[in-house]
Structure 1
Amino acid sequence: MSIIELGEVRDEPASTPAAHRPRAAGRPLRSAAVLVLALVVLSAAAPLPQRTVSVVPASRTSTAYLGGDSVFVVDPPAPEGDRFLTAYAQPSPTGVGVRRRWQAPLARLGDYLDVRVERGLVLAMAVNDDGVFETTAYDSATGQRRWQHPGGPQPITEGGLLLTENRGDREGAMGRVDPGTGRMLWSMSIPVPSNPAYHRRNGEIDQFVLLQPTGEVQVYDAGTGGLLRSIDTLPGDRAAYQRVQVVGDLLLLVPPGSTRLIAYQLAHLQPLWTAEVPLVSFVFACADLLCAVPQTGGLLALDPASGVVRWSDSGLTNLADVRHGQLLMARPGRGYEVWDAATGQVRTDLGEWALLPVLGLDAPLVGVRSGDDGRRVVAELDLVARRTRIVDVLPGIAGSCQASLPMLLCQRLDGTTALWRLSQ
């Protein structure tokens, strides 16, 4: 079912009155009346901003996910009876509502954490009733089940999927699966307590790094699973625990209990520099710099070529996103600010918003907040322009929203799930 809603009327700032020319002598007053009448007719004929809202056929205990051009509904666990994954087509711009594409049976028990579209498949990720994280692949057009394997999927540059199964204090596994057939092309075990680090090219993995308990850092090809190169980083203490990250073309190593950050060139595992920094929690790329987050909070921006600290901030800030040389930083009680990644300077204050999950790394950032009348204000947070753009103001939203503009999926106050095509 689809409903066409009129858009909200927003107050625009009054424009400066233009200077009026003297009216020509003897001009009949009726010409002004005709002009007014014409303006009224034209304004009535102009289409008002509209939005389309469609109710998604989902129970109050079901979970819905945006993916590709579809909405996927996962039924809750069912100790008795049937349980399904149902795919619905998103409403068209002409107002045609959601329609069911296909329905596939699910195991009665297990918690589903995500459903997404990748490599022409619908991938449903769940923790089964045995506590194992696994991925089930369905044909995106028909819903036919293709394969099921343990682990979480990530796309690799050679067209396949890399499945990684981390089991915490137990040995895990990873391998490459052929998306079309489900055949495992290679697999290997993951040491304890190491977590793989990934090198990406154009958003897809081409290499990954494993840190062995012995201190050996190993770089593998994601397509073949073959070992490319390795280096011994713990010649003395073989029992010490280290952490490793890949940021851009750098491999970053945090030695055990150290306030040092050691950078290697990933291509040849050559040491580049060592920086004295507080205990590092994690590192990420921020424009042309490296941003390190100490365990005590704050932010350090380092030169990736030398490790020299370019700027730092010790405030209670949390990074929310990085876009085009701009950092979206959250300050408790103050909302979001846009910082220049090169200098750490605050560029603008965007106010308080709740960021929504969005599809795609480059998808527009979308935030919502409550209005004075209880409705939800939906806005795009543009870090490059350093401003917010109000997209719509919607009534009756409870939460659990996902966005892929112009589409917005939310649960409503009456417990139903709805999909909006917003008037941008």
Structure 2
Amino acid sequence: MSVIELGLVTADAPEPPAPDWRHQLPRFGAGAVAVLCALTLTGSVPPRSQAPLPLWSVGLDVSVSSSFAMMNDGLYVLAGAEDQRRLTRYDPRTGATRWSVPVARLATTLSFIRSGVIQLPVEREPVIEWQEDGSRVSRTSGQETVGIDTATGQQLWTLPGDLSFTRDGRAVIADWDDTGAALRSLRVVDVHSGATVWTHPGRGLRTWAVPDDTAAGLLVTAANDGQVEVRDLAGGRLVTSRRLPQLAGASRDDTSADLGVAGDVVLTQDVDGGKATLKAYDTMTMRELWHLGADRFQGFFGCAPVLCITTEAGTSGHDLATGQKLWQREGGGLSISLSDGVLMDQGEDASRSILVDTGTGRTIIDLEAGGVAWNDSDRNEPVAVLLPTRAPPGNTAVGRLDQRTGRVTWRGLIDPVESFACRAAGTLMACTTGTQLSVLDLAP
């Protein structure tokens, strides 16, 4: 991956000589320096190098199922053909292999890495059934979750069921029957030992959720009869409960009766007679706080410090305690909460990415066809942003967004990458380009 230094430039400034990266990292080619006309660079300190520093790279065959996660303690890569699947931890700065272990051939995606444990979802081997006519039918038999120690690569535990989420050293696993249609149980387990801490019976349970606030240790469940329970995630203690008629009789696939949690508010959507109602309840008492009406709610989710609601009219930010609308952005489509204070609005066709200040609804930056580097941790860190360049064309500008100030600090240009082909942790960013997985340091 080539890197181009931006430096501090003016419109009439001559192009500086190309930085020579060959002495730092032979595997990266040297890039020619060019002025990035689309960006305005400002500063009050003497000019200094701010270009991303290429650290190392490793081959990655993207033609087979592969996955990677960038954490502060390592880059984790799941790759290899079905009969040679391996999970490898690399030192994030040097690329040294810390450990590499074989994994099941049907492990295809890295899920949560929390509290020093990788929670790896693995599809069970399909069951072959012989039919009366002599033909064979392959039937899936559910999923397992495997816990792997991040320090050693040692497998700690294997449990039946799908991993729903991890919070405060607890993992919530949904255990389904062999058909995948009936929920046997919802189990909360210790992520280090795999031991069951407490279990919620699955019979009659329709859906469940946790608050978006990583410090909130609650689990909210809704049954088919409309009974909503709020429990302490750590031990299963019942905090409060209430039967909500709008959820009664709804199946777990019925999106007309959604359940969600944002901050300290439980949210439900009810569609009746072509009209939708969004109601908010206090998580400690299940007392109704407020309600809003619309033709249809496309989505609702916490985007601290507000509640974000998407409808056909666009995305709006609301006060969690009162439901009062604080701001409105026109145009519907997909919106994603990236971190505290930052929302990514992708519009109707997801053809462009606009970063939005969730406190005010104002545009921070329009990344056009660019995107961001996903953050795999639960830390609130600066967001790495990627912007395709027009002059010079064919490169990607890399910067970091400070959520506190709303300012993007541009670091330089790299070889073109797909909009969401990068993941970041701290100042490090890993990106896939062709057959390589490359790591860069974005620190000034």
Q: TM-score, normalised by structure 1?
A: 0.76
**Partners of 2:304 and 2:264 in 1: how far apart?**
14
Q: Which residue of 2 aligns with 1:133?
A: 143
Tell me the equivalent position of 2:171. 161
Distance 1:102 1:343 in 2: 45
- 1:110 deviates by 0.9
Q: What residue ranges of structure 2 are gaps of 5+ in the alignment?
A: 13-47, 127-139, 252-256
Gap change, CA 1:382 and 1:244, over 3 Å in 2: same
CA separation of 1:339 and 1:205: change in aligned 2, threshold 3 A: closer
1:121 equivalent in structure 2: 117
Aligned residue in 2 for 1:381: 401
The equivalent position to 1:180 in structure 2, one of 157, 181, 192, is 192
Measured in 2, the distance between the counterparts of 1:373 and 1:310 equals 39
- Per-residue Cα deviation, 1:331-368 (whole angstroms, up to 9, x for no partner): 56995545554554x35543422222123341221222
* Alignment size in residue pairs: 378
Deviation, structure 1 residue 286: 4.2
TM-aligned CA deviation for residue 197 of structure 1: 1.6
Q: Which amino acid aligns with 1:298?
A: G
Q: Report the CA distance between 1:243 and its aligned residue.
A: 2.0
**Pairwise CA distance, 1:387:** 3.5
- Is it true that 1:12 corresponds to 2:9 in the alignment? yes
* Residue type of the alignment partner of 2:76: F
In the TM superposition, what are the counterparts of 1:201-240 in structure 2 within 5 Å?
203-234=214-245, 238-240=248-250
Equivalent in the alignment of 1:291: 308
The residue that corresponds to 2:415 in the other structure is: 395
> For each residue in 1:150-187, what CA deviation from the matched residue of structure 2 results, as whole angstroms up to 9, or x when unmatched?
22163334x43333457874325321222332222222
In 1, the alpha carbon distance for the partners of 2:319 and 2:436 equals 50
Residue 262 of structure 1, CA deviation: 1.9
- Which residue, 294, 300, 304 being the options, matches 2:320? 304
Aligned AA for 2:157?
W
- Choose 308-317 or 264-273, whichever is displaced more: 308-317
Q: CA shift at 1:310, angstroms?
A: 4.4
Q: Distance in 2 between matches of 1:422 and 1:66?
A: 14
Distance 1:259 1:248, change over 3 A: same
Q: Measure, in 2, the Cα distance between the counterparts of 1:280 and 1:404.
A: 33
The residue identity in structure 1 corresponding to 2:85 is R
- Corresponding residue SS for 1:393: strand
- Contact 1:166 / 1:195 at 8 angstroms: preserved in 2? no
| One-letter amino acid matched to 1:367 | V
> For residues 83-122 of structure 1, what are the alpha-carbon distances to aligned partners after superposition, in whole Å with 9 as ceiling and x for unaligned?
321222122xxxxx31111122212x31422155322223
Give the whole-Å Cα distance in 1 for the aligned partners of 2:222 and 2:414.
49
Residues 307 and 318, structure 2, Cα contact 8 Å, conserved in 1: yes
How far is 1:405 from its partner?
4.1
Q: Structure 1 residue 194 and structure 2 residue 168: aligned?
A: no
Contact 2:3 2:413 in 1 (8 A): no
Q: Taking structure 2 as the reference length, what is the TM-score of the superposition?
A: 0.73
For the structure 1 residues 210 and 112, does the alpha-carbon distance in structure 2 shift closer, same or farther, using more than 3 Å as the test?
same
1:71 aligns with 2:72: no
Q: Deviations over 1:256-283 (max 9, x none)?
A: 4342222222211122233223322332
Give the match for residue 31 of structure 2: none
Query: Could you tell me which of 151, 158, 168 is aligned with 2:162?
Result: 151
Match runs of 1:276-287 below 5 Å:
276-287=293-304
Q: Deviations over 1:293-328 (max 9, x none)?
A: 22x351244343333444444424543436555644
SS at match of 1:385: coil
Q: Say if 1:349 and 1:86 are closer, same or farther in 2 by CA, change over 3 A.
A: closer
The 1-side partners of 2:403 and 2:319 are apart by 23
Relative to structure 1, the CA distance from residue 188 to residue 313 in structure 2 (aligned partners, 3 Å threshold; closer, same or farther) is same
Report percent identity of matched pairs. 20
Give the structure with higher Rg (CA): 1
Structure 1 gap segments, 5+ residues each: 16-45, 92-96
**Displacement of 1:55 after TM fit?**
2.1
**CA–CA separation in structure 2 for the residues paired with 1:324 and 1:305:** 18
1:388 & 1:334 partners in 2: Cα distance?
21
AA aligned to 2:53 is R
* Alpha-carbon distance in structure 1 between the residues aligned to 2:353 and 2:184: 38
Of 42, 53, 56, the match for 1:54: 56
Provide the residue aligned with 1:250 in structure 2. 265
Residue of structure 2 equivalent to 1:103: 100
1:196 Cα shift?
Answer: 0.5
**What RMSD over aligned residues (CA atoms) do the two structures have, in Å?**
3.5
Tell me the distance in 2 between the aligned counterparts of 1:300 and 1:397.
31
